[in-house]
């Protein structure tokens, strides 16, 4: 088996439909894109809420599969050791633990998808999460995946848990709460390993944080996630702090999201003007 499996070789059965990142984000059925994004926070009283929640659930499911695959590849791709292109034994143990957690999240997501009335393949899959997990530096992998993408998962699960509370859906609320607990652990793993492995290497730490910023910015597209009421997914500040984010770091993500929201509004205004 090769080291570092290219994203195109990710194995899926025939139900899955893979599309490029850009195409998925511009798919009007996706929560946080198009009309849904403009409508603000995902709440049960909105007419398109059930479909948006199902789409978000499907997105969570495929994200969990890729998080499982990414953590598994980190166990395999690196020799054990302290070198820059190696992974310490304890880091691999953490990634193996994450494999188990993500496998459970996949199981939960499949059950929840049934419960919410959607099925595998109803919505598309983009593979950006796995792509972030292909970085040749294990620290950048953990920063991009565990801090940026699993950080986003904290925000998404918090939003979905609130959605379940407001909608009176105890099953959704229960499942999201359990997954949220695991995600806080995973983000904390990322924060801890970032600090541990770059304690004496500020350049590597800078690169890792820049990589995280790139990933965060991509997933803030259109202000999908942020502090604003208009953002479909709320930045879960308290849980991010538990997971090792400083207040400054959270503020920075909020600012990136706010900028993304403003850019999206301006783009929509330009489009409306051209159409008129």
- Of the candidates 2, 45, 202, 203, which one interacts with another protein according to CB under 8 A? 2
Quick one: which H or E segment has residue 79?
Answer: strand 79-80
Q: Segment near another protein (CB under 8 A), from 41-49, 92-100, 194-202, 245-253?
A: 92-100
**3-state SS assignment for residue 137:** coil
- Of the candidates 23, 93, 199, 269, which one interacts with another protein according to CB under 8 A? 93
Does 69 interact with another protein (rule: CB under 8 A)? yes
Does 89 interact with another protein (rule: CB under 8 A)? yes
Q: Segment near another protein (CB under 8 A), from 90-98, 184-192, 206-214, 230-238?
A: 90-98
Does 35 interact with another protein (rule: CB under 8 A)? no
**Helical segments of 9-137, H only:** 21-25, 34-38, 49-77, 89-116, 128-132
Q: Which is nearer to another protein, 169 or 182 (CB)?
A: 182
Q: Is the four-CA dihedral 121, 127, 129, 135 of positive or negative sign?
A: positive
Q: Segment near another protein (CB under 8 A), from 65-73, 142-150, 166-174, 265-273?
A: 65-73
Q: Segment near another protein (CB under 8 A), from 95-103, 158-166, 168-176, 243-251?
A: 95-103
- Of the candidates 53, 60, 99, 243, which one interacts with another protein according to CB under 8 A? 99
Count interface residues toward another protein (CB under 8 A).
34
Nearest to 1 by CA among 96, 111, 77, 70: 77
Cβ at position 266, least distance to another protein in Å: 39
DSSP 125: B
Does 75 interact with another protein (rule: CB under 8 A)? yes
Angle of helix 49-77 versus helix 150-167 axis, rounded to 10: 150
Does 246 interact with another protein (rule: CB under 8 A)? no
With b for 16 or more beta-carbon neighbours within 10 A and e for fewer, the 154-174 pattern comes to bbbbbbbbbbbeebebeebbe
Does 265 interact with another protein (rule: CB under 8 A)? no
**43 touches 163 (CB < 8 A):** yes
Angle of helix 170-197 versus helix 89-116 axis, rounded to 10: 160
Does 46 interact with another protein (rule: CB under 8 A)? no
Does 190 interact with another protein (rule: CB under 8 A)? no
With b for 16 or more beta-carbon neighbours within 10 A and e for fewer, the 224-253 pattern comes to bbbbbebbbbbbbbebbeebbbeeebbebb
Does 68 interact with another protein (rule: CB under 8 A)? yes
Nearest to 57 by CA among 90, 31, 38: 31
CA 76 to chain CA mean position, Å: 22
- Of the candidates 17, 19, 38, 96, which one interacts with another protein according to CB under 8 A? 96
Does 125 interact with another protein (rule: CB under 8 A)? no
Does 5 interact with another protein (rule: CB under 8 A)? yes
Footprint of another protein on this chain (CB under 8 A)? Answer: 1-2, 5, 9-13, 65, 68-69, 71-77, 80, 89, 92-93, 95-97, 99-100, 102-104, 106-107, 120, 130
């Amino acid at each position: 088996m090769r080291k570092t499996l290219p994203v195109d070789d990710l194995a899926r059965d025939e139900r899955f439909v893979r599309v490029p990142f850009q195409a998925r984000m511009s798919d009007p059925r996706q929560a946080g894109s198009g009309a849904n994004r403009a409508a603000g926070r995902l709440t049960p009283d909105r007419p398109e809420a059930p479909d948006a929640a199902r789409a978000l659930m499907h997105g969570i499911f495929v994200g969990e599969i890729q998080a499982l695959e990414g953590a598994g590849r980190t166990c395999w791709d690196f020799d054990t050791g302290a070198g820059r292109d190696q992974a310490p034994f304890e880091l691999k143990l953490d990634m193996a633990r994450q494999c188990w957690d993500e496998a459970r999240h996949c199981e939960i997501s499949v059950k929840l998808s049934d419960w919410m009335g959607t099925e595998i393949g109803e919505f598309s899959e983009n593979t950006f999460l796995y792509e972030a997990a292909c970085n040749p530096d294990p620290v950048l992998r953990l920063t991009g995946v565990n801090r940026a993408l699993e950080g986003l998962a904290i925000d998404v699960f918090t939003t979905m848990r609130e959605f379940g509370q407001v909608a009176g859906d105890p099953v959704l609320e229960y499942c999201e709460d359990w997954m949220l607990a695991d995600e806080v652990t995973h983000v904390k793993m990322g924060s801890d390993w970032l600090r541990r492995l770059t304690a004496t290497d500020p350049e590597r730490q800078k690169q890792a944080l820049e990589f995280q910023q790139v990933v965060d910015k991509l997933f803030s597209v259109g202000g999908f996630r942020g502090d604003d009421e208009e953002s479909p997914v709320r930045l879960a500040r308290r849980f991010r702090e538990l997971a090792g984010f400083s207040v400054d770091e959270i503020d920075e993500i909020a600012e990136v999201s706010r900028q993304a929201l403003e850019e999206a509004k301006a783009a929509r205004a330009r489009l409306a003007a051209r159409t008129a």
